[in-house]
């Protein structure tokens, strides 16, 4: 092979972080190689964000008869055909995958299909061929973690297997009440399953402001989703007919499957990172705030960098590194100012500091909780929930926390408010269209500015 294997950037991994870096790098006129062993698009497109959200949309439709009945529209659910649901889900993935392949090609990124290994500060080797870059970006992503001694096999599954199932479990046990566990619980319940979540921490959605966790627990109870919080898993037995899951409080829960949703580990083993002196901790790559690893011109992006494991954080970091390499000195976005959405029913959406974190950082804080009971559109949708704003005393809004149907769509304004350090007094005069759920954000800002409209003083 010739010198055509020399690039400005060689990227290892074609998921959200890696491909965003490739697209932006190419846009900036850099010569980019993107090495991907499996499918361009990575976890998010093929076994993460997109397939789960397709299932959640199917689940929403399966709920329609319940809601319809109460408002005089009689519907009946004839059944859920998982073969067709999966075909719909795979169709969505397929179209996006095709689009992404076209985009990468049109930007003249060189996509190398194969398993890469870092063999030098400038080199990644794939099938005996060396690809040399003035800069190297590590973007190898993450995998579904389990607990020690808990093997993913048979009826003990992780999200990858759950997404590939062509049947709906009648009884599902879910280990973990974080984002992935909550979303599958929501889907399977809507499809008719008996669901039990086991969470070791004191609340479901344990990373959210407590008011969201408590409201979600109330909503899940109402939906008939069982959960045990503050309880540790102790073991599982399985045979052809099902699983028996034991918890440390001496209970046994029976199910058709156990979904293990206890987080994601960094996919960094045996890739040559340690050998090249990349600083690592528990398998994560310890890059600095500008995502440089401290070794040569090697950067890291996405789920292998400790912090929020989210696709849009991967996009942002990929773009950031491409711009950094191109000398554009991009602005930092702290993890805390990255939006977080859990797409279960009801949805959770948040950005910035929780009330407890804000108190720790700013001392005195002011908060307001605007109940969606006062919001016309939410009433029409028959959803309960709230929007909570947190501000530093007399200062800007530093946190927005929301629960309710469709509130994920409100995160856009919330992230502007927090990232632009808006004051409630600046937000209050701005007009929100009526009747939208977005109005509730305006109402919350008005209340925090001391002039509530559709709320009691
Ligand atoms: C079930 C589920 C639901 C999710 N839902 C959401 C959501 O709704 N919103 C959200 O923001 N995030 C969601 N996520 C998280 C999101 O998918 C990840 O944060 C995102 O994919 C991380 O991007 P990444 O580029 O770091 O890694 P990945 O997407 O994991 O990509 C890494 C890529 O590198 C490749 N690779 C690894 N090693 C090598 C090698 N040695 N050689 C060549 N290629 C290699 C892999 O094949 C993979 O394609 C979800 C995740 C899961 C599992």
Answer yes or no: pTM beyond 0.85: yes
pLDDT of residue 456: 75
Q: Are residues 279 and 244 in the same domain?
A: no
DSSP three-state, residue 89: helix
Is the CB–ligand 1 distance for residue 139 below 6 Å?
Answer: yes
Q: Are residues 8 and 120 in the same domain?
A: yes
Is the CB–ligand 1 distance for residue 303 below 6 Å?
Answer: yes
Q: Are residues 224 and 122 in the same domain?
A: no
Per-residue pLDDT of the chain (457 residues; tens, 9 = 90+): 444 489 999 999 999 999 999 999 999 999 999 999 999 999 999 999 999 999 999 999 999 998 999 999 999 999 999 999 999 999 999 999 999 999 999 999 999 999 999 999 999 999 999 999 999 999 999 999 999 999 999 999 999 999 999 999 999 999 999 999 999 999 999 999 999 999 999 999 999 999 999 999 999 999 999 999 999 999 999 999 999 999 999 999 999 999 999 999 999 999 999 999 999 999 999 999 999 999 999 999 999 999 999 999 999 999 999 999 999 999 999 999 999 999 999 999 999 999 999 999 999 999 999 999 999 999 999 999 999 999 999 999 999 999 999 999 999 999 999 999 999 999 999 999 999 999 999 999 999 999 999 887 6
Is the CB–ligand 1 distance for residue 142 below 6 Å?
Answer: yes
Q: Are residues 356 and 288 in the same domain?
A: no
Residue 150, in any domain of the structure: no
Is the CB–ligand 1 distance for residue 140 below 6 Å?
Answer: yes
Residue 340, in any domain of the structure: no
Residue 278, in any domain of the structure: yes
Residue 151, in any domain of the structure: no
Residue 162, in any domain of the structure: yes
In whole angstroms, what is the distance from residue 424 CA to residue 396 CA?
7
Mutate to test the pocket of ligand 1, among 302, 311, 321, 409 (most ligand atoms within 8 A of CB): 311
Residue 70, in any domain of the structure: yes
Q: Are residues 401 and 378 in the same domain?
A: yes
In whole angstroms, what is the distance from residue 329 CA to residue 26 CA?
17
pLDDT of residue 107: 97
Nearest of 176, 175, 170 to residue 156 by alpha carbon: 175
Closest-lying ligand 1 atom to the alpha carbon of residue 42: 49
Q: Are residues 12 and 86 in the same domain?
A: yes
Q: Are residues 83 and 204 in the same domain?
A: no
Kindly name the residue from 5, 203, 434, 456 that is annotated as catalytic.
434
Q: Are residues 258 and 269 in the same domain?
A: no
What domain range includes position 249? 156-262
pLDDT of residue 454: 86
Residue 270, in any domain of the structure: yes
Residue nearest to atom 48 of ligand 1 (CA): 42
Is the CB–ligand 1 distance for residue 37 below 6 Å?
Answer: yes
- How many structural domains compose the chain? 3
Q: Are residues 96 and 201 in the same domain?
A: no
Residue nearest to atom 38 of ligand 1 (CA): 140
Mutate to test the pocket of ligand 1, among 42, 51, 127 (most ligand atoms within 8 A of CB): 42
| Per-residue tokens: 238 | 């399985």
Nearest of 124, 113, 115 to residue 273 by alpha carbon: 124
Ligand 1 centre distance from Cα of residue 265 (Å): 11
pLDDT of residue 457: 67
Ligand 1 centre distance from Cα of residue 182 (Å): 19
Nearest of 237, 94, 257 to residue 191 by alpha carbon: 257
Residue 454, in any domain of the structure: no
Q: Are residues 112 and 164 in the same domain?
A: no
| Per-residue tokens: 266 | 């960094």
Is the CB–ligand 1 distance for residue 260 below 6 Å?
Answer: no
Of 204, 239, 262, the position where a domain reaches its end is: 262
In whole angstroms, what is the distance from residue 145 CA to residue 150 CA?
10
Whether 66 is catalytic: no
Q: Are residues 167 and 139 in the same domain?
A: no
Is the CB–ligand 1 distance for residue 176 below 6 Å?
Answer: no
Of 227, 244, 262, the position where a domain reaches its end is: 262
Is the CB–ligand 1 distance for residue 311 below 6 Å?
Answer: yes
Q: Are residues 232 and 320 in the same domain?
A: no
Nearest of 332, 387, 392, 401 to residue 363 by alpha carbon: 392
Ligand 1 centre distance from Cα of residue 17 (Å): 8
CATH at 368: 3.30.390.30
| Per-residue tokens: 301 | 């992006």
Per-residue CA distances from 447 to 209, 351, 367, 371 (Å): 19, 19, 9, 11
Ligand 1 centre distance from Cα of residue 316 (Å): 14
Of 230, 262, 294, the position where a domain reaches its end is: 262
Residue nearest to atom 34 of ligand 1 (CA): 13
Is the CB–ligand 1 distance for residue 265 below 6 Å?
Answer: no
Ligand 1 centre distance from Cα of residue 446 (Å): 39
Locus of tokens 């600046």: 426
CATH at 162: 3.50.50.60
């Amino acid at each position: 092979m010739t010198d055509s294997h020399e690039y400005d950037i060689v990227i290892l991994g074609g998921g959200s972080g890696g491909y965003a870096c490739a697209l932006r790098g190419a846009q900036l006129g850099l010569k980019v190689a993107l090495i991907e062993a499996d499918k361009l698009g990575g976890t998010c497109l093929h076994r993460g964000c997109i397939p789960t959200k397709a299932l959640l949309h199917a689940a929403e439709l399966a709920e329609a008869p319940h809601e319809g009945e109460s408002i005089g529209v009689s519907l009946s659910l004839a059944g859920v055909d998982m073969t067709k649901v999966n075909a719909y889900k795979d169709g969505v993935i397929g179209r996006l995958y095709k689009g992404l392949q076209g985009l990468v090609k049109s930007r003249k990124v060189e996509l190398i299909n194969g398993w890469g290994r870092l063999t030098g500060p400038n080199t990644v080797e794939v099938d005996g061929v060396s690809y040399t870059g003035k800069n190297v970006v590590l973007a190898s992503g993450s995998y579904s973690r389990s607990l020690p001694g808990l093997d993913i096999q048979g009826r003990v599954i992780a999200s990858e297997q759950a997404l590939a199932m062509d049947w709906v479990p009648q009884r599902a046990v879910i280990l973990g009440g974080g984002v992935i566990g909550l979303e599958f619980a929501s889907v399977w319940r809507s499809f008719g399953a008996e669901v039990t979540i086991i969470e070791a921490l004191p609340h479901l959605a344990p990373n959210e402001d407590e008011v969201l966790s408590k409201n979600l627990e109330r909503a899940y109870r109402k939906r008939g989703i069982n959960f045990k919080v503050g309880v540790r898993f102790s073991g599982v037995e399985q045979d052809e007919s099902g699983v028996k899951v034991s918890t440390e409080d001496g209970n046994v829960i029976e199910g058709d499957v156990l979904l293990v949703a206890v987080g994601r580990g960094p996919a960094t083993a045996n890739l040559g990172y340690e050998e090249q002196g990349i600083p690592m901790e528990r398998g994560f790559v310890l890059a600095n705030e500008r995502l440089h690893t401290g070794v040569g011109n090697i950067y890291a992006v996405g789920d292998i960098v400790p912090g929020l494991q989210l696709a849009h954080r991967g996009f942002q970091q990929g773009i950031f590194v491409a711009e950094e390499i191109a000398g554009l000195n991009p602005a930092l976005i702290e993890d805390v100012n990255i939006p977080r959405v859990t797409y279960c029913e009801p949805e959770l959406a948040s950005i910035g500091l929780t009330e407890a974190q804000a108190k720790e950082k700013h001392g005195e804080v002011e908060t307001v909780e605007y109940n969606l009971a006062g919001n016309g559109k939410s009433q029409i949708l028959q959803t309960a929930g709230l929007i909570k704003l947190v501000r530093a005393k007399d200062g800007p809004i530093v946190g927005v926390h929301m629960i309710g149907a469709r509130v994920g769509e409100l995160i856009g304004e919330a992230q502007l408010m927090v990232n632009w350090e808006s004051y409630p007094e600046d937000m209050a005069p701005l007009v929100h269209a009526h009747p939208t759920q977005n109005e509730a954000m305006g109402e919350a800002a008005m209340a925090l500015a001391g002039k509530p409209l559709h709320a009691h003083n």
